[in-house]
Amino acid sequence: MINLTVVRKWISEKSTIGELLINGKKYCFTLELPWKDNEKNVSCIPEGEYKVIVDWSNSKKTHLPHVLDVPNRDGIRIHIGNFPKDIQGCILVGERKGEDVVWNSGKVFGPLFERLKTAEEATLLIKKETDNGGNS
């Protein structure tokens, strides 16, 4: 079982940058679109818990991690990329972050993909940094 957590920390008009934790340990940075009411192709997905599987992506023509059961969305993937223009709702991973960018995406995606590919089960929790169990 692999538990992924995206903690959204740095939010701008162009992107949402966070940290990806694997089983509670920081692994890399993430880049998503900003929140725009879950609007297809322009918004990040809602906070919540999702199941993740690895399957074939018709658009990318390869196997990728697939975030399942996202309300009113489909085809949400975790994949390689650097900039908001590289995504339409998916989650990018990177070793380093900058303003509206993550770098060295391939370096951290490969090991993450291998772990997910061999996992019997994987979940993804997406939350804001300020979430602390409801004790705001």
State pLDDT tens for residues 20-48. 999 999 999 999 999 999 999 999 999 99
The confidence score (pLDDT) of residue 135 equals 42
Class of domain 2-128 as given by CATH: mainly beta
Look up the pTM and report it: 0.94
Strands 122-128 and 48-57: antiparallel
Question: How far apart are the C-alpha atoms of 50 and 124, rounded to whole Å?
Answer: 5
What parts of the chain have a pLDDT lower than 70? 131-136
Three-state secondary structure call for residue 72? coil
DSSP summary character for residue 126: E
Q: What is the pLDDT of residue 130?
A: 79
Give the residue extent of every domain in the chain: 2-128
The pLDDT score that the predictor gives to residue 131 is 56
